[in-house]
Amino acid sequence: MCARWFVGLIAVTSGCAFGIDDTVPESDDPDHDGIADDGRDNCPGLPNPDQADANGDDVGDACSTFCTGLCSDPLTCVCADFDDSPELPADWALVPEGTASGGIGTGDVRSPPRALGLMVPKGPADGNRNHVSFSRGLLATNLHIVYETDWKLSYYDETTNAHTIQFTGVFLANIANVSLGYAFNGTAGDWFIAKSVLGMGTTIYPIARPPTDASTWMHIRFDVLFDQAGAGHIYVAFNGAEVVHEDNLVTAPATTGPQTVAAMANIWTHQGTTPFAQVTHDNLVFRVD
């Protein structure tokens, strides 16, 4: 509550702040916005006396995050913006290997207050490489999936003699994937979208170098139909502009029944020495259409 006393003939008020309303008892209104938290306050815990709700979802704008109201069916759509909690979102898996690491931080973010950071230090080749992945799977019969993420390559050591590294992509179990990758020889490299299908090898689609200046966010969108009969497609866009548009593809081996499809944010060396690399992800959305 505000404290109010008199010094001489001057009224002094202490402990009050703009937008704070103490007309409702504190036990009913701990955020002091004048709206009791008994189901009427659309953002309990944060003072929002105007109760603004631009999208009409009954969650006040003060409490809305990127993911608010975005996925109505958790069986076909999942979202991670890391803003509700410093803990990892439920059902997403963070798996570091070797001395790689990952976690949620409040520094460089696309939408405040938090984002996901992944880091691998330089490591040896072959079986002792450093990897880190953050992924979410869905069981699906329809294998048309869309995955979007805000991505920033914060640091990448191009002097390491690595060969191929994977940064993010979509996966059909462990039998097919489409991913953003980079191959280089220690001085310069080539960026690409790769399609890998078990038993059919890997197809490379060269792309222009994405922003890698450690200060530029890029929105990546994968639209992939996994199909074994030649009707598959791969559409990949950076900041709304397509960099790959391929139709009539075999994008999966022969499969039957529901399959696990997944979106993955990762730093994964497939061949050669692990470079030192840091990436940041925010506002991940993964859905099965």
Report how far residue 283's alpha carbon sits from residue 233's, in angstroms, rounded to the nearest whole number.
Answer: 24
Single residue among 64, 89, 108 that ends a domain in this structure: 64
| Residue 264: inside a domain | yes
Single residue among 43, 64, 85 that ends a domain in this structure: 64
- Put the strands of the sheet holding 176-184 in their side by side order: 93-97, 131-140, 259-272, 162-172, 176-184, 189-197, 201-207
| Residue 146: inside a domain | yes
pLDDT at 21: 47
pLDDT of 4 > 60? The answer is: no
Co-location of 252 and 115 in the same domain: yes
pLDDT of 102 > 60? The answer is: yes
| Residue 166: inside a domain | yes
Instruction: Provide the domain limits for residue 20.
Output: 1-64
Report how far residue 255's alpha carbon sits from residue 232's, in angstroms, rounded to the nearest whole number.
Answer: 14
Co-location of 29 and 151 in the same domain: no
Report whether 224 contacts 262 (CB < 8 A).
Answer: no
Where b means 16+ CB within 10 Å and e means fewer, 249-265 reads: bbbbeeeeeebebbbbb
Report how far residue 177's alpha carbon sits from residue 252's, in angstroms, rounded to the nearest whole number.
Answer: 8
Which amino acid is present at 275?
A: P
pLDDT at 205: 96
Q: How confident is the model at residue 276 (pLDDT cuts 50, 70, 90)?
A: confident
228-243 tens-digit pLDDT: 999 999 999 999 999 9
Q: How confident is the model at residue 52 (pLDDT cuts 50, 70, 90)?
A: confident
The count of other CB atoms within 10 Å of the CB of residue 90 is 10
Rg of the Cα trace of the chain?
Answer: 24
Co-location of 101 and 36 in the same domain: no
- Specify the higher pLDDT residue, 285 or 90: 285
Single residue among 14, 34, 64 that ends a domain in this structure: 64
Co-location of 205 and 102 in the same domain: yes
| Residue 58: inside a domain | yes
Average pLDDT over residues 21-46: 69
| Residue 69: inside a domain | no
The count of other CB atoms within 10 Å of the CB of residue 7 is 7
**Number of domain units in the chain:** 2
Co-location of 47 and 135 in the same domain: no
pLDDT of 91 > 60? The answer is: yes
Co-location of 58 and 187 in the same domain: no
| Residue 72: inside a domain | no
CATH number at residue 283: 2.60.120.200
| Residue 144: inside a domain | yes
Report whether 280 contacts 265 (CB < 8 A).
Answer: no
Co-location of 199 and 234 in the same domain: yes
Average pLDDT over residues 146-174: 87
Co-location of 237 and 258 in the same domain: yes
Co-location of 194 and 215 in the same domain: yes
